[in-house]
Structure 1
Amino acid sequence: MTDGVDERDVAVLRNKRDASRYQILVAIAARQPAVSQQEIADSVGVTAQAVSEYIRALVDAGHVEKHGRGRYEVTKEGVDWLISRTEDLREYTEFVSEDVIGQVESETAIAAAAVTAGDRVALSMRDGTLTASPEDADAGTGATAVALTDAERGADLGVAEFEGLLEYDPGTVTVVVLPGVREGGSRAVAADRLVDLAAAHDLVGVAGTEALAAVRGVDLAPDIRFGTPQAVQEAAVRGLSVLLVVTARERSAHTDRLREHNVSYELVDVRQ
């Protein structure tokens, strides 16, 4: 390994002829014994004449045996050659995935203060959003990264080269289940209890018309109205507490998703 570049000989990538030879040998193995050179040409992206020449070279190299017009079979030597090149490709792919792409993978955060590209910043989760601070401004944080761009306070900021673990407490969900309109709907809710619960949570979500009416009836505007099963679960995962007001018929769609994603929730009765 030199300057982050793998020195492994991956000839099948560096040499166009070897790359075509590899593809054609794979195509023969997939179609043998009846091999249509035109089909191979179409799949590999070369001319039928070029395929004919490659097959002739593969026969001469002992990697393919010819059993008559249009009938070919990959030999043990050909299989061994394929395996060796495939192993090279697999190792090279792992190198690219883990050592190259892994080093440049980035995320976007909000700058808590002015940051200069190249600074190492401390990462935290604030109001459900990844936030970056100058490292010494948030001592003791479990996760740091390198700023990819300059950013003023409140601006979006690219970060990469992560170290440590992002430490924050997941949020919880309080579920208030309302009866259907025929059983009282929003009129069955104790308004003062609903107001107190809303004040104790970061977000309020509603699912169902009765739930919307109940929340609006106490002069609150819901933060989440649509796509609530996913939105509530994601908000909790990001550390926000959510008051979810749902009708009985909507309950299972939400609580099932919360359980599936290991989000803690409790059911609260706010009926009068």
Structure 2
Amino acid sequence: MSRNAEDAEEFGVLQSKRNATRYQILVQIAERQPAVNQQEIADAIGITAQAVSDYLQDLVEHGYVNKHGRGRYEVTKEGVDWLITQTDELRGFVRHVSEDVIGQVEIETAIATTEIEEGETVSLTMRDGVLRAMAGDTGSATAVAVTDAAAGRDVGITNVEGVVDYELGTVTIVSVPQVQNGGSSAVDPDRLSKLAADHDLIAVGGAEAVVAADAAGLDPDVRFGSSAAVQEAATKGLDTLLLVSTDLLSAHTDKLREQNLSYEVVDAAA
């Protein structure tokens, strides 16, 4: 056997099916020791009980496991060290796949603002809450197009570099009292109309808020799942006016605080 083959056999969980099974069995023993049921291990990793028995004998011979009588096994220091070595190798491989492989082939979608050809470098901007791509590398963030696209069409991009330069959106909140405390009639519709004119998006939460928006002649962009929608809109640079009943207010503000997004609660009383 060549030295490379010996290295794979001795150290390579990913190169050796034998070592991959050894690894799984050692983990199972470590979790269950000292009372180890071979059938349970067999069921857990999908091999026969006889195969588990053979592997256990092999692990004992290699000094990775001590046997203390029928059905009683314990992983030795050497076995723990081997598990650590193999786990570090697996972590390194997962990191390589996630960062160097998947990261290189991850495809995002943008809207083309110019004609773009596959393989062309593009500059990225954020407008109206949507990623935009323009032919050329003049922007603070660039990517490579993986599809052709005419202006106004969707384009696939990958290998994003740099940071898309844009400001987070603002969130202005109008708390609408619950119906027993006046409901929508406690809110000034003219005040709502003026506030709405300064925002990109209107969201509502709760029946009182829906009625208040209707009384002000507003057509909300978001009626359902507004807490998550407002949070996402702000992260994409959209200024949002949120009308929300008081009983739902904390659910919305908690979401914003979780993402370190600022908001302002304003008075729109009638």
TM-score under structure 2 length normalisation: 0.84
Residue 171 (structure 1) aligns with: 169
Residue 61 (structure 1) aligns with: 62
What secondary structure sits across from 2:14 in the alignment?
A: helix
Residue 4 (structure 1) aligns with: none
Residue 194 (structure 2) aligns with: 196
Residue 3 (structure 2) aligns with: none
Q: 2:237 aligns with which of 239, 248, 272?
A: 239
Distance 1:182 1:151, change over 3 A: same
What secondary structure sits across from 1:175 in the alignment?
A: strand
Q: 1:133 aligned to 2:134?
A: yes
Distance 1:239 1:51, change over 3 A: same
Residue 4 (structure 2) aligns with: none
Counterpart Cα distance in 1 of 2:229 and 2:96? 36
Distance 1:234 1:56, change over 3 A: same
Deviation string for 1:93-122 (max 9, x for gaps)? 222222222222332222222222211111
What secondary structure sits across from 2:13 in the alignment?
A: helix
**Root-mean-square deviation over aligned CA pairs:** 2.5
Identical residues among aligned pairs (%):
58
Distance 1:245 1:85, change over 3 A: closer
Residue 72 (structure 2) aligns with: 71
Residue 30 (structure 1) aligns with: 31
Residue 252 (structure 2) aligns with: 254
Counterpart Cα distance in 1 of 2:64 and 2:225? 57
What secondary structure sits across from 1:53 in the alignment?
A: helix
Offset at residue 184 of structure 1 (A):
5.0
Counterpart Cα distance in 2 of 1:178 and 1:75? 65
Distance 1:260 1:58, change over 3 A: closer
Offset at residue 182 of structure 1 (A):
5.7
Q: 1:15 aligned to 2:13?
A: no
Deviation string for 1:19-64 (max 9, x for gaps)? 1122223323333333322222222211122222222222332333
Counterpart Cα distance in 1 of 2:75 and 2:90? 20
Query: Which amino acid is 1:223 matched to?
Result: D
Q: Equivalences for 1:43-54 in 2 at 5 Å?
A: 43-54=44-55
Counterpart Cα distance in 2 of 1:263 and 1:49? 58
Residue 263 (structure 1) aligns with: 261
Deviation string for 1:176-223 (max 9, x for gaps)? 334445665444444433322222211112233333233223332111
Offset at residue 241 of structure 1 (A):
0.9
Offset at residue 169 of structure 1 (A):
0.8
TM-score under structure 1 length normalisation: 0.84
Residue 3 (structure 1) aligns with: none
Distance 1:74 1:256, change over 3 A: closer
Query: Which amino acid is 1:25 matched to?
Result: L
Moved more, 251-260 or 33-42: 251-260
Counterpart Cα distance in 2 of 1:159 and 1:47? 47
* Number of equivalences: 262
Q: 1:148 aligned to 2:146?
A: yes
Deviation string for 1:200-249 (max 9, x for gaps)? 21111223333323322333211112222222222122111112223344
Distance 1:19 1:201, change over 3 A: same
Query: Which amino acid is 1:205 matched to?
Result: A
Deviation string for 1:66-110 (max 9, x for gaps)? 333333333333333223222222222222222222222332222
What secondary structure sits across from 1:153 in the alignment?
A: coil
Deviation string for 1:157-183 (max 9, x for gaps)? 222211101110111122233444566
Offset at residue 16 of structure 1 (A):
1.1
Unaligned ranges ≥5, structure 2: 1-6
Distance 1:166 1:68, change over 3 A: same
Distance 1:114 1:50, change over 3 A: same
Query: Which amino acid is 2:119 matched to?
Result: G
Distance 1:221 1:45, change over 3 A: same
